[in-house]
Chain A
């Protein structure tokens, strides 16, 4: 017995019933099996107590993905009216050691929703992103915090910093789009013009970086601009004898948009670039560029 005997003397643990000969049985540690035995017993009675809370902590130590335990823990916390700020500290420690776990991040969201206080959230997320700037859970949670608590104001600065650190961080580019286009305050025409300038500078730093290419095409489509505005950039990079499939792919898009409006020269030029990509510069996507070629030919 590793749990305090006295505390649990009134409870008869319920053993695991997974049948006579289950598939893929896990060789549980005795302590985990024991804790789960008590959990089954007290959850049956829906006991919400200090000892139940401690028990959930013990089980979570073994398995932080135990969603049933987390849900139960939340009910206990709220029933006992526990200090949720202390629970934020607890879940912070948990996330520090398990940063890619659905349950932990969701638990934090449940707590903050209850507290309606996000003052600790952005600094905490910053810390996690500092260790892994592409942590999907952290970004998902960050967007929820920003939307829910209207914390748009400094987000673009934050994104700028991350892009200065690693211009290939696609999560940061995505956050940039979120910050500008999911914000209830819509961007002005002037802002968008500046934004395109910003991205062009980033593209020039590393023309083979896919993320800003996707991003700039995204904002051009969103703001109904003509993709042809990128032609100058593409030519400028090509004139430096830099070969980038993204430059070539962008030119295909440009030529295609003009071919669609009946330009035979663009159709021909687009097909030529697709052939180069398929046979020489982007051979892994040979099938894709072949497909684009057929589409171009049909215009």
Chain B
């Protein structure tokens, strides 16, 4: 059986040209690629080639470049984009995409214009180049991360209370970049994290530090990525659960640590870690969904606490926590969708974290990551309706995702890669492990379409672990911008860990699952 087909267009295909120059086109099993066309077939001819392969070889198509030249090529039975997406291949000139300041500049709009100018420069330079040269510098990012795993400079003492975060950011980056963890890293990882666990439950930011919810989330995720029985077995679940309950306040919120602050991160971190380790109980979640609902704002965004401005990071935490609890119906989903889509920048293609703030690569995940969740929720809601009330057109439409996946990839690949390795917030900034992790997680979210198996979800009484296993990478709906080798591994929309690692940990703590 043919299991993939890769398409890419020639770099010098002018947008005005009627025909399409096919740069190359492969099909076959991995390691057994065959070329099916290297000449310049007309759209009709090419479309027939694709149709033929879809019909007779049961191909699963990965579109490696979608722009308007390819629209005409897509078989009709594939409900792909109706028109050009992305910034560089979009239907508008770069100059039209500058934010309109209404001839009334203020501090916010001036900073915005400056950022647009710097990104626009990079886009202009990229526009005239071979599409294949838009490349993820995978090797240099792997080297950047691995150098950090060996040794970090003294100024990073500022992260000395965040050691599990460093481990998670780095290991997750390597994992989705497809760099297999060596036995050496596995052993060091287990030993490093085991030193951070407290007998009273949870993990601290360093040896001897008190337990902290965010740090514990990062430690559990890091152990999941390491992914061995030895790694799982260091977790003292009984103590962890008791400590989780100590963090809980009467109103359903969680403090970050004993004597610490309250915000929606606490709920997400506790619930994500509890899901992976099979510790979600009605006792743990009582009142939490109602508290998170109060954090949703008039504009649809979710803030750190009730009343606080909506913010990409907190919105992700809030929505993911609600999804874990199965309580997303308490939120105003259409308004959250409106807010989330409004944060994608029309020239930069990346996301801002709040309205009228600047683009930042890390929101590629925090805001970009809202979409798989929102799409799943909306699709599920539609299917839970009675048959006559369902809107199949909506489901079909949502199934193609609701943000500009190409534009986000353009921002990450063109504007967020440091030439020295690692990824960044925006042009002219330097790399760090946080931005490397979340730019890559955002890239993964834009390339893949990870969907929720809502048919399975209808089965009664699924626990949160089982629900976390219902997320599947829909391989017919990948979009890889630029060089075909840019594809990285899919990440889990709730836990932000590679999908197989989530499955392995859940099966360890819940027992084997048959789906």
Contact = CB atoms under 8 A, between A and B. Distances in A.
A285 B82 CA distance: 13
A274 B441 CA distance: 31
Interface string A123-149: 000000000011010011001000100
Interface stretch (B273-281, B315-323, B392-400, B478-486): B392-400
- In which size bucket is the chain B interface? 35 or more
Interface stretch (A153-161, A193-201, A215-223, A259-267): A215-223
B137 interface: no
Interface stretch (B41-49, B186-194, B464-472): B186-194
B389 to A, nearest CB: 10
Interface stretch (B18-26, B98-106, B236-244, B488-496): B98-106
Contacts, number: 242
Given A209-B102, A214-B299, A71 B258 contact: yes
A284 B258 contact: no
Interface string B92-124: 100000011110101111000000000000000
Contacts of A290: 82, 397
B199 to A, nearest CB: 14
Interface string B57-101: 000000000000000000000000111010100111000000111
From B83, B342, B393, name the one whose CB has the most chain A CB atoms within 10 angstroms: B342
A190 interface: no
A27 B154 contact: yes
B344 interface: yes
Nearest to A68: B209
B151 A215 contact: no
B308 A139 contact: yes
Interface in B302-353: 303-311, 337-339, 341-342, 344-346, 349
Contacts of A167: 104, 106
A209 B104 CA distance: 10
A90 interface: no
Contacts of A221: 298
Given A23-B192, A284-B344, A68 B354 contact: no
A283 interface: yes
B205 interface: yes
Q: Provide the main secondary structure of the chain B interface.
A: loop
A99 interface: no
Interface in B197-213: 204-210, 212
A284 B298 contact: no
Contact of A287 (B194, B260, B401): B401
Nearest to A172: B309
A64 interface: yes
A132 to B, nearest CB: 10
Given A23-B192, A208-B102, A286-B83, A170 B357 contact: yes
Nearest to B102: A206
A63 B205 CA distance: 12
A178 interface: yes
Contacts of A68: 161, 204-205, 208-210
A15 to B, nearest CB: 10
Interface stretch (A47-55, A114-122, A291-299): A291-299
Given A16-B207, A65-B162, A291-B394, 5 more contacts: A24-B167, A24-B192, A208-B102, A210-B342, A285-B404
28 contacts: A17-B207, A19-B188, A22-B191, A24-B151, A27-B154, A32-B160, A67-B212, A71-B259, A74-B259, A105-B261, A106-B261, A140-B304, A166-B107, A168-B107, A169-B356, A171-B354, A174-B309, A205-B104, A206-B101, A206-B104, A207-B102, A218-B297, A218-B298, A243-B100, A282-B346, A285-B342, A291-B394, A298-B394
Interface of B: 81-83, 85, 87, 90-92, 99-102, 104, 106-109, 148-154, 156-163, 166-167, 170, 185, 188-189, 191-192, 194-195, 204-210, 212, 256-261, 263, 297-299, 303-311, 337-339, 341-342, 344-346, 349, 354-357, 391, 393-394, 397-398, 400-404, 407
